[in-house]
Amino acid sequence: MRYRTLDQLDDALVKCRACARLVRWREQVARDKRAAFADQEYWGRPVPGFGPDDAAMLIVGLAPAAHGANRTGRMFTGDQSGDVLFRGLYEVGLASQPTATSADDGMELFGVRMVAPVHCAPPQNKPTTTERDNCAKWFRAELELLFPTARSVVVLGGFGWQVALRELGEFGWEVPRPRPKFGHGVQVCLHRGDETITLFGCYHVSQHNTFTGRLTPAMLGEVLAAAADHAGIDRRTP
């Protein structure tokens, strides 16, 4: 099915039950809850993308966190990885506030939309290849609606990098052979006729990467700012 708007796509997405393992896990987590969130109602469904429908810059993650987006219902909201990302976006003038706590906290992204190859929280944050492939139709549909305005794509981690290159190739973008390898700070410009779109590699904002210093706030900020400037976004002063 082809969707005419992102709202139409998101309405269909949140009803998806295609992957039995992910459905069981996301709903189990929503029932059992973490003690710190025992008084909150978990979202417990597929998490749609977040950001304007005319975004010039996309951020490709991995999948929702069990007690983050699976709880709040919004990409990267409610966990430590998201705290790092939203702070980084705010500091380079791409978000309205430095912290994101809930879907109704007033957060606004400027020219940026967050998307994901997998929309349900997976056990151990590791979706299977079958689950990735099942979710590809949603990723493709979202990309198709965003292509008219998207000019840059920040890809967080190697999983998203491989999926992004594969799906862009499916849409006719010329992916170099051999495929470019993922790395922090890597930039790859793809062409489709007269159109261009540039991928920016960035280490994922996972706790492992940020706690060990593999990804620092400065490193994240440099990639976000470069991708935003490439896309022609008018960044706002925090």
Contact 64, 157 (CB under 8 A): no
Beta 195-202 vs 187-192: how paired, if at all? Answer: antiparallel
The span from the CA of 197 to the CA of 101, in Å, is 32
Structural domains of the chain ordered from first start: 6-231 (3.40.470.10)
* pLDDT at 1 (0 to 100): 80
What averages of pLDDT result for each successive group of 10 residues across the chain (238 residues)?
Answer: 95 98 98 96 98 98 97 97 98 98 97 98 95 96 96 97 96 95 98 96 97 98 98 92
In a 3-state reduction of DSSP, which class is residue 38? coil
Contact 29, 21 (CB under 8 A): no
* Statement: the pTM of the whole predicted model exceeds 0.85: yes
Q: Which of 200, 233, 202, 210 is nearest to 83 (CA)?
A: 210
Q: Edge-to-edge strand order for the sheet containing 152-156?
A: 112-115, 57-60, 152-156, 195-202, 187-192
The span from the CA of 61 to the CA of 135, in Å, is 14
